[in-house]
Structure formats: C-alpha cells, structure tokens
C-alpha cells in the first residue's frame, strides 16, 4: 500500500479511533494512580516503515513495551517512552525513583503499557466490530532504534506503513506520562480496519 492511498478521510477516521483510545487510556491511568490524568489531542500519522529508522532519536535510550496483536488485524503494538517518562510512571506507582530499573520497575512499565495498548485495541475493536486480542506484554530497555528494529524485524513480514499515535498524558502535578504508540500491522490489517469503518 502506498502512502498516497491514505486520504484525509481515512486519516481522520483513524485519528478519531486514536482519540477515543487515548481517552480510555487516560481514564485507566487515572484509576491506576488514583489521580486525575489529562491528555493532549493525539497526533495520528501513518508513517512509511523505513522512516521510523531515520528519526534523530534512534540512539537515545528508551523503554519499549511490546504487545502482540492477535485476531482479525494481526501485528505488533509498541509503546515507546524515554527514560525520564518511564521513571515518572514508576515513581507515581511505587513512590520510588529508580536509578536503574528493577524487576518491580519493569513490572510497573509492563502494566502501564498493557493498559494503554489495551485501551487503543478496545477502541479499534468497538469501532470496527473486529476481533482483536492482545498477548502478554514484554518490556525492553535499549536504544530506541534497536527496540524498533527488533520489534519490527523479528515477526515475519510487516506492512509498508506503521500507525504512529503520539499522546502526552499529564497528571495533576504536570508530570509527563506519555510517548509514541506504534501499531505495526501485518499486510492487510490497516486495510481491514478501514474497510470495517466503511471508508476504504
């Protein structure tokens, strides 16, 4: 699928799904940390696969939570956030700030990533009527480019495009708890979502 095939109407539909998913995620995070969580309006883009690896932040250390998407629209979900954002989330949930991530810290990040990715998948499933399930999440701490590369390359052949949703969540103390959310579809999955929305 070439980038030109994604028109404004299709992007608007995916943005609306992303917006609802982000709202669900903000509500779930608020319940998790027992504090109000606000969010920015999600920036939704369909990015050519190769462009992901040409970003300037590829050598920066980052945390990635990887979730396999099963069912009608298979692929991978990858939620990526920087070190400070990851530590903010750990501190909010455990009361401790970690110099190096511990097993407890990774467990917290897995749970947060699971909640956020689940919120987006549930929004897509509700809108489309498609069956979408998630695997148990895994967490990685490495250079951003390495996390992206490993996630994309280890799982057969993916589509030429990635759905990139950037949302910033802020708690009442203005602590940033957000990042990039990538849906890396297997060939045909994005088209199936758009077909189900009646706009492909």
- The model's pLDDT over 147-169, given as tens digits with 9 standing for 90+, comes to 877 776 655 555 667 778 777 77
Q: Which of 82, 87, 155, 79 is nearest to 117 (CA)?
A: 79
* CATH architecture for the domain at 3-196: 3-Layer(aba) Sandwich (3.40)
* 1 confidence band (pLDDT: 50, 70, 90): very low
| Domain ranges, ordered by start, for the chain | 3-196
Q: CA angle 71-69-6, nearest 5°?
A: 90
Strand-pairing partners, residue 63, are: 81, 141
Q: What region, left, alpha or beta, does residue 144 occupy, with left being phi > 0 and alpha being psi -120 to 50 degrees?
A: alpha
The string of DSSP codes covering 68-106 is EEEESS-EEEEEEEEHHHHHHHHHHHHS---SS--HHHH
Query: Kind and range of the H or E element at 163?
Result: strand 161-167
Residues 46, 52, 55, 59: is their CA dihedral positive or negative?
positive
For residue 149, give the DSSP letter. H
Residue 24 tokens read as: 């669900």
The pTM of the whole model exceeds 0.95: no
Residue 58 tokens read as: 């590829």
Residue 7 tokens read as: 């028109």
pLDDT tens digit string along 74-128? Answer: 888 888 888 888 888 888 888 888 888 899 999 988 888 888 888 888 888 888 8
Report the DSSP pairing between strands 61-71 and 43-48. Answer: unpaired
């Amino acid at each position: 699928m070439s980038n030109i095939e994604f028109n404004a109407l299709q992007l608007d539909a995916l943005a609306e799904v992303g917006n609802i998913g982000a709202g669900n995620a903000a509500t779930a995070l608020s319940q998790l940390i027992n504090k109000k969580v606000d969010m920015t309006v999600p920036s939704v883009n369909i990015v050519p696969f190769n462009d992901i690896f040409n970003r300037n932040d590829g050598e920066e250390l980052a945390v990635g939570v990887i979730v396999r998407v099963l069912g009608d629209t298979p692929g991978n979900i990858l939620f990526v956030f920087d070190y400070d954002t990851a530590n903010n989330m750990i501190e909010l949930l455990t009361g401790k700030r970690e110099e190096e991530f511990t097993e407890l810290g990774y467990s917290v990040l897995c749970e947060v990533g699971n909640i956020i990715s689940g919120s987006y998948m549930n929004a897509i499933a509700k809108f489309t009527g498609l069956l979408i399930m998630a695997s148990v999440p895994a967490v990685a701490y490495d250079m951003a480019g390495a996390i992206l590369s490993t996630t994309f390359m280890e799982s057969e052949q993916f589509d030429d495009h990635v759905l990139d949703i950037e949302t910033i969540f802020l708690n009442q103390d203005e602590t940033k708890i957000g990042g990039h959310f990538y849906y890396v579809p297997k060939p045909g999955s994005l088209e199936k979502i758009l077909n189900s929305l009646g706009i492909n």
